Amino acid sequence: MKVALGNDHRGYQAKEIIRDVIRQLGHEVIDCGTDNPGACDYPDYAYLAAKEVSEQRADRGILVCATGIGMSMAANKLRGVRAALCHDELSAQISRDHNDSNVLCLPGDQVSAMMLGKIVETWLNTPFSGGRHLRRVQKIAEIEQGRDPRAGVQ
């Protein structure tokens, strides 16, 4: 699996940890983040990594800023991106299992290195369950197209 990894300055240290976890799990990293801890703007890096997912050059993406909130907001503006902000293993698992999230957003300042690794591993290893959840993900795509989700997907 190819994973686009993006970060701003506040996610720089976390990115180093996450990159190692991704590689240890046998996946390829596409590094779209800043390569130093100097101040920068998170939307720039959210865009670069989420675009890799949106344009299907990466299977998934992981974004890190101070809280993960800004990265999530920016990434979700790209077509086909379902970015989820997760703070623990359960939210990471559910975001994949129920919502087929394809971008994981993480708080670089609020989660320990050990927890970052657990969240990333859980998220990368959890498949989408489909079933009744597929209809809901399709409704998200309808909204993305500017359509009322109540009208078309059954």
Q: Give domain status of residue 142, yes or no.
A: no
* Segment 59-99, tens digit of pLDDT: 999 999 999 999 999 999 999 999 999 999 999 999 999 99
- Report CA Rg, the chain: 15
Q: Give domain status of residue 150, yes or no.
A: no
151 band by pLDDT with thresholds 50, 70 and 90 = confident
Number of domains comprising the chain = 1
Q: Give domain status of residue 140, yes or no.
A: no
Q: Answer yes or no: are the C-beta atoms of 81 and 108 closer than 8 Å.
A: no
Q: Give domain status of residue 30, yes or no.
A: yes
CATH number for the domain spanning 16: value is 3.40.1400.10
Q: Give domain status of residue 14, yes or no.
A: yes
Q: Give domain status of residue 116, yes or no.
A: yes
Across the beta sheet with 28-31, the strand order is 28-31, 2-7, 60-65, 103-107, 83-85
Q: Give domain status of residue 147, yes or no.
A: no
Q: Which two tokens stand for residue 153?
A: 């997907």
DSSP string, 74-90: HHTTSTT--EEE-SSHH
Which residues form the domain of 41? 2-129
Tokens 């359509």, residue located? 147
Please tell me the pTM assigned to this model.
0.95
> Which positions are annotated as active-site residues?
65, 98
Show Cβ contacts of residue 72 under 8 Å, excluding neighbours closer than 6 positions.
63, 83, 84, 85, 105
Does residue 20 carry a pLDDT above 60?
yes
Does residue 153 carry a pLDDT above 80?
no
